[in-house]
Structure 1
Amino acid sequence: MADFQGYLVIFLLGLISIVIVKLLIKSKPAKSHLPPTPFALPIIGHLHLLGPKPHHVFHNLSVQYGPVFRLFLGSVPCVIFSSSESAKELFKTSDSAFLDRPRNSCMDYISYGGNSMIFAPYGSYWKFLKKIVMSELLNARTLDSLLPVRSYELDRFITFLSHKAKDAKPVELQAELMTMTNNVISRMLTGKMCTSEGDDEGVIRRIVTDIGEVMGTFNLSDHIWFFQNLDVQGVKKRSKEIRARFDSLIEKIINEHEEVRNEIKRKGEVKDLLDILLDISENECMEIKLTREHIKAFVLDIMGGGTHSSAISTEWALAELINHPNIMKKAIEEIDQVVGKNRLLQESDIPNLPYLQAIVKESLRLHPAAPVIQRQSIVDCSVGGYQIPAKTTIFFNVWSLGRDPNYWESPLEFRPERFEEKQMDVRGQNFQLLPFGSGRRMCPGSSLALMVIHVTLGSMIQCFEWKAGKDGNLTSVDMEEGTGITLPRANPLVCIPTARIDPLPLCM
């Protein structure tokens, strides 16, 4: 309903703008050193060009205006990039000029005044958070210590699928993958799962889903100046409600952790990530004091950023394999040869499964979980021969980059073999493929996400054959994209699993 109201307001403003344009004297052309731009209407700028899938709009405009062009979303100046060359300039050569993220009223409130790592402005606090992530929370030592948590949740998921296979029942994979990845992240973070709708764990899952929805809502109040103090779509109201629910829940979880932390330390038990954050907050030697609100914002970051993307990416990859049975067959043969049928695939097997890795890379190329990267210029700078003023919102179209025929042969074809022919990493160093971004503000959880995607997808195709549709009678599935800040499928993937091996005796 909020989206409909937003588009209705844009439509009405567009009509008003057209009338104003006819009454105005033709304005002077843009200076040549600025990126090219389509014709803009007063008040709304180019908002009338946007649709529910901005990455598609940006891609189509880049065909007409080139890989670097300018838009005005209401009163907000924006520049859109979509080429490998501009990616290298943005995220490597001129990375220091694009280290901020654009702010919006919704996330400012939900993230406790921008105290989260995702939205904090670049500076000493952000550097401190990045250091904590890389040296304490998501380093190899911590991830290894929490391997039993990930293995346990994967076994639960495979067991669930095994029961569905025995009963020949269909599975809506989007929902089940979301539950599994939510459980992994929630247990690694707080020791709690999110399987039930009636308790704390169910609240965690609902909050994460609601945050994704509100973040994906285009808020007119952030883009049109005379709506600045109005909540036309109810986004601010919903943001306050979400934060109130999260705050109540995380206070309860933190209090529970504080009560048992001394016992955990005495027994030497494995800590979850919240325990590590609480230890850091009590360390007087830290250069920045980590407050309770900082911890809450950080927890929200990890919950929101680590759940949807892994589940969505795994679902897209399996859909591609169903539509390409020869590729599925080749992947199964590799797994059978390396892992066999007498044990379940483990994270330690992934380096020995290059074709599975190629499948994941190819799926991320065509279906990046974050199709558009957002930044904001800190200072005036130059990229691609164009001047980019300070305080300009930057959109980099990752989705378009993965489909560029200048870099990819037959770019719309799903062909994992291209990554066997040419070795390429997805962690921000190859500027033709940036599913996790690049530069100092790239996704810090890429290693964890790739672990979860590889082992989940590999286990699903090791243990089961997949028949598409509620009745298992579809030979292929549609690949239509949905809407949102991530890139979900428009229609959740529904399949009936059929057991290749009996995984139940092999699960923990």
Structure 2
Amino acid sequence: MVTNNMDINYTTCSYVFFTFITIFLLQRLLTSSTRRGTPPGPRALPILGHMHLLRSSLPRSLQALSQTYGPLMNIRIGSLQVLVVSDSDTAKQILKTHDPDFASKFVFGPRHFNVYKGAEFFNAPYGPYWRFMKKLCMTKLFAGHQLDRFVGIREEETLALLSSLVEKSRNGEACDLGLEFTALTTKILSKMVMGKRCRQNSNLPIEIRKIVSDIMACATRLGLMELFGPLRDLDVFGNGEKLRSSIWRYDELVEKILKDYEDGKSGNDGEKDKDIVDILLDTYNDPKAELKLTLNQIKFFILELFMASLDTTSAALQWTMTELINHQNIFTKIREEIKSILGNTHRLIKESDLQKLPYLQAAIKETLRLHPVGPLLRRECNRDMKINGYYVKSGTKIFINAYGIMRDPRTYKDPDKFVPERFLVAEENTERKMGYYYQQYMLELKGQDVNYLAFGSGRRGCLGASHASLVLSLTIGSLVQCFDWTVKGDEEKFKIKLPTGFSASGTAGGSSLMCSPKLYFDPFG
């Protein structure tokens, strides 16, 4: 009897064992067959995915992995499964050839804590609302004529920055250029968006900056939780509630601003005085508009503008000054170029001079190549298709490694060196040629060349590239023209840190740019 029971148990165990083996082999067979034709990638760990292969510099880590697994590879960061594009040929297929099929962005962040959920534009799916707002941006909000209206704001705030620095120079004080640039970009954007209200309340840009900074800080902390799928819906550390509270604070502020605008409408407001809030409210009240905007969409669009612009423009300014202070020979060349176009006129450069300064433009472009403010471009596939011979399913998330593409040695000689000359045309610098160069510069900033993706490319390229270029060129040109700079402390140069995370371009000299301005040309003298 005991023997019979042992035989039965043995037979049962053997059956179960072979059943599991069969299921396992079938799963492997099915998995391998379904994965056949998909892009390659390294072996992933449970839960962590490929996080063990990624250093703190994510763009550079992905660039290194692409050397082994190719220009289109599968990567999993926690629960985030993405395809990573690492060369310009593959990027061209996504950003140019099949642009409409990759015109959506995937959202990486805590959407369920956003009180404006579903009202986004910058991360909206490619559809009627996104196309309507894109058209509004291109024809009214950020069109050339509208940017021309804001020239006074940009020049006024640049003069205010120079005045502060002149005083510091005369007092022998050091300054944190990072903080100065943050204040500059906040004031410029605030006056562009809601200039009428800023004239009534000079502290409004500071209030907005504080709230937007709180929102971005909470969103960043929550974004890290997204890497671990089951935790994304849990507010483990209370950051979700903090985010929601910060957004409601913003809502209360902007609600009052919009009401003030509506109450103050006279019907006789000059077209030339319209700011961005004016244009948005005109569209909201237009019965003939192609699409009816909601107030939540307007509120969130304004918030998105601040979140997308403030830190990126400030970071680009910081990186440019870092490279110029670290490369005094290039700094001097820009100053000499400014002198050459001003001649004997004793004045500060203006926006109208910028197209005559190709070396300044080349230095800015080279900075953005080395230090893109958006090193990883996000896209999402809208339909099943083939890229590089691999199957890419609808809904697949894509990272385009702009950082890696712009440091590709097959495209750029000595890609890690700061060499503005690589972007200069080897022709005589007549005024006509310089004007032509400036036009080419603007086209390239907008992503026409997939080897250069400082502001993205395609339908989802940066809408503010022209404005950012004007702020960068005018600010950097003025600081070079007016001051010599020395790094505070024992170091002769700022230390360069690699980019980290999914966005932002890293840091220069730690968390601040402490340096001392020495007056070279008095713009007020």
- Could you tell me which residue of structure 2 aligns to residue 426 of structure 1? 445
The 1:126/1:451 distance shift into structure 2, 3 A limit, reads: same
- Could you tell me which residue of structure 1 aligns to residue 514 of structure 2? 494
- Give the Å deviation of 1:239: 2.1
1:135 to 136, 139, 142: 139
CA distance in 2, matches of 1:74, 1:332: 48
- Could you tell me which residue of structure 2 aligns to residue 9 of structure 1? none
Structure 1 vs Structure 2: percent identity of aligned residues? 35
- List gaps (5 residues or longer) in structure 1: 1-23
Q: Deviations along 1:465-487, whole A, 9 cap, x unmatched?
A: 11111x5x632111113645311
- Could you tell me which residue of structure 1 aligns to residue 469 of structure 2? 450
Q: Where in structure 2 are the equivalents of 1:294-373 lying within 5 Å?
A: 294-340=297-343, 342-373=346-377
- Give the Å deviation of 1:184: 0.3
2:493 to 476, 482, 490: 476
- Could you tell me which residue of structure 1 aligns to residue 175 of structure 2? 171
| Alpha carbons 1:219, 1:233 under 8 Å: kept | no
- Could you tell me which residue of structure 1 aligns to residue 383 of structure 2? 379
2:291 to 288, 291, 296: 288
- Give the Å deviation of 1:125: 0.6
- Give the Å deviation of 1:458: 0.6
CA distance in 1, matches of 2:154, 2:280: 20
Q: Deviations along 1:133-183, whole A, 9 cap, x unmatched?
A: 001100011111121111111111111111111112111111110110110
Give the secondary structure class of the aligned counterpart of 1:504: coil
| Alpha carbons 1:480, 1:489 under 8 Å: kept | yes
- Give the Å deviation of 1:229: 2.9
> Does 1:148 find its partner at 2:152?
yes
Give the secondary structure class of the aligned counterpart of 1:219: helix
Q: Which amino acid aligns with 2:492?
A: T
| Alpha carbons 1:315, 1:493 under 8 Å: kept | yes
Q: Where in structure 2 are the equivalents of 1:238-317 lying within 5 Å?
A: 238-262=242-266, 265-266=268-269, 270-317=273-320
| Alpha carbons 1:368, 1:399 under 8 Å: kept | yes
Q: Which has the larger radius of gyration?
A: 2
- Give the Å deviation of 1:495: 1.1
CA distance in 1, matches of 2:203, 2:340: 43
Q: Which amino acid aligns with 2:375?
A: P
Of stretches 367-376 and 144-153 in structure 1, the one that deviates more from structure 2 is 144-153
- Give the Å deviation of 1:355: 0.3
Of stretches 80-89 and 225-234 in structure 1, the one that deviates more from structure 2 is 225-234
CA distance in 1, matches of 2:204, 2:59: 35
TM-score of the aligned structures, taking structure 1 as reference length? 0.88
| Alpha carbons 2:189, 2:306 under 8 Å: kept | yes
Q: Which amino acid aligns with 1:428?
A: G
CA distance in 2, matches of 1:452, 1:83: 30
- Could you tell me which residue of structure 2 aligns to residue 33 of structure 1? 37
Give the secondary structure class of the aligned counterpart of 1:80: strand
Compare the two structures and name the one with the higher helix fraction.
2
Number of matched pairs: 478
Q: Which amino acid aligns with 2:446?
A: R
Give the secondary structure class of the aligned counterpart of 1:121: coil
The 1:488/1:211 distance shift into structure 2, 3 A limit, reads: farther
CA distance in 2, matches of 1:441, 1:108: 23
Give the secondary structure class of the aligned counterpart of 2:110: helix
CA distance in 1, matches of 2:107, 2:380: 9
CA distance in 2, matches of 1:306, 1:399: 19
> Does 1:460 find its partner at 2:479?
yes
| Alpha carbons 1:95, 1:439 under 8 Å: kept | yes
Q: Deviations along 1:288-335, whole A, 9 cap, x unmatched?
A: 111111110110121111221111111111111111111111111001
- Give the Å deviation of 1:233: 4.5
CA distance in 2, matches of 1:109, 1:75: 19
The 1:284/1:405 distance shift into structure 2, 3 A limit, reads: same
Q: Where in structure 2 are the equivalents of 1:99-248 lying within 5 Å?
A: 99-104=103-108, 106-107=110-111, 109-110=113-114, 112-191=116-195, 199-217=203-221, 219=223, 221-248=225-252
The 1:118/1:396 distance shift into structure 2, 3 A limit, reads: same
CA distance in 2, matches of 1:216, 1:415: 33
1:88 to 73, 86, 92: 92
Q: Deviations along 1:103-131, whole A, 9 cap, x unmatched?
A: 24524644711322211111001000001
CA distance in 2, matches of 1:70, 1:454: 39
TM-score of the aligned structures, taking structure 2 as reference length? 0.85
Q: Deviations along 1:217-272, whole A, 9 cap, x unmatched?
A: 46365344432431235442232122112111111211221222217x35666111
